[in-house]
Amino acid sequence: MLSRKQKHFIWKLFSLFSVVRGYNILIIVLAIYLTAIYILAPDLPIRHVIFDLNLLMIVLASSTAIAGGYIINNFYDREKDLINRPGKTMLDRLVSQRTKLSTYFVLNFLSVVFSSYVSFKAVLFFSLYIFFLWYYSHRLKKYPFIGNITAAVLAVIPFFAVFIYYQNFDVVIFVHATFLFLLISMRELVKDLENILGDLTQNYRTIPVVYGERASKIMLTILAGLTLVPVYFLLQYFEIGYMKYYFYFTIVALVIFVVFLWYSAHKLHYILLHTILRLGIVIGVLSIVLLDVDVLLNRFLPSLSNSF
């Protein structure tokens, strides 16, 4: 039977996990490895990718930097989140602001240490990434367009780091990246609609606050249409294996999304729209294995068995 002190410690761990969005980081790590195996380095033996220490250090540097970014974002948004997400905020407040800031600096230090294993250029890259994560939370997110674009760019930066590492410049990679960027941009704008009350109260000049819900819905509809452009090119001009079914599903989901968007008027509606986009991104990550199922059947399992 756990003592009261032990239970409180466990709740603090859950709180810290919530603050750093541990579930998001796990998805990002999985996405980076799947992208490396199936898109960026499809000709390399899988065990070389999985057990590549340089790639591992890039993943660790990305993960710790992102976790630090979530902490500093939570620090600056604490008053706004108390209005928008009171339940989650109460859980997050089990960890003191001082502990959060200490953890933030430790995570950033670890990110630099991990990147130093790769190269000095990697240290500069992740140092700039850490700076822009802070500057986004401190200032940029309070402004329309700039905040949304910056958030979407920062979300794809870890993949860009791996892209630079493998030096793969195939056009299909840019098309995939464009699709992901547009999907994340939609998610950021839906989050602004979801959080409009807190943003308005705390004087965050987001797109819904400045231009209104109708203008935001028009922009989301345009973004949904633009997202179909890379989907079209991926389906028509590139070999994407069984992942084509994911993109067929995406077309249907985007149509449903836009229809539901124009009937949305309450926070719960925007939460559901946000959930649709999050599911779309997570399913997309898992669907990367469908690019070439032979990799999983003929290369992945034998590679693992040969490594032990």
CA 204 to chain centre: 22
Q: With beta carbons less than 8 A apart as the criterion, state whether 10 and 94 touch.
A: no
Mean pLDDT over residues 234-245, rounded?
A: 93
Query: In terms of residues, how long is the chain?
Result: 308
Q: With beta carbons less than 8 A apart as the criterion, state whether 115 and 126 touch.
A: yes
Nearest 5 degrees, angle CA 216-CA 217-CA 220? 90
Q: Torsion over CA of 124, 129, 93 and 145, rounded to 10 degrees?
A: 160
pLDDT band at 15 (very low <50, low <70, confident <90, very high): confident
Largest CA distance in the chain: 61
pLDDT at 150 over 90: yes
Mean pLDDT over residues 127-144, rounded?
A: 93
296 or 226: which leads in pLDDT: 226
Q: Nearest 5°: phi and psi at 195?
A: -105, 20
pLDDT band at 41 (very low <50, low <70, confident <90, very high): confident
pLDDT band at 12 (very low <50, low <70, confident <90, very high): confident
For residue 56, the model assigns a pLDDT of 96
21 or 102: which leads in pLDDT: 102
Long-range contacts of 28-32 (CB under 8 A, 24+ apart): 28/62, 28/63, 28/66, 28/158, 29/59, 29/63, 30/285, 31/159, 31/285, 31/288, 32/58, 32/59, 32/62, 32/158, 32/159, 32/162
Q: Per-domain residue ranges for the chain?
A: 11-307
For residue 32, the model assigns a pLDDT of 93
pLDDT band at 8 (very low <50, low <70, confident <90, very high): low
Segment 84-95, tens digit of pLDDT = 777 666 666 777
Nearest CA to 43 among 305, 295, 303? 295
Q: Nearest 5°: phi and psi at 87?
A: -65, -50
DSSP E strand boundaries for 11-86: none
Token pair of 198 as six digits: 């807190």
Q: Within 13 Å and on the Cβ side, how many CA atoms surround 303? A: 16
Q: Which of 23-27, 127-131, 213-217, 295-299 has the lowest mean pLDDT?
A: 295-299
Q: Which residues, at least 6 apart from 241, have a Cβ–Cβ distance to it below 8 Å? A: 290, 291, 292, 293
First to last CA, the chain: 39
Whole-angstrom Cα distance, residue 42 to residue 171? 14
pLDDT band at 295 (very low <50, low <70, confident <90, very high): low
167: left (phi over 0), alpha (psi -120 to 50) or beta: left
Average pLDDT, the chain: 88
Q: With beta carbons less than 8 A apart as the criterion, state whether 300 and 45 touch.
A: no
pLDDT at 306 over 60: no
Q: What are the start-end ranges of the H helices in 139-212?
A: 146-166, 171-194, 196-201, 207-211
Count of Cβ atoms closer than 10 Å to residue 225 Cβ: 12
Q: With beta carbons less than 8 A apart as the criterion, state whether 114 and 60 touch.
A: yes
pLDDT band at 305 (very low <50, low <70, confident <90, very high): very low
Question: Percent of the chain scored above 90 by pLDDT?
Answer: 59
Per-residue DSSP letter, 1: -
Q: Which residues, at least 6 apart from 116, have a Cβ–Cβ distance to it below 8 Å? A: 122, 123
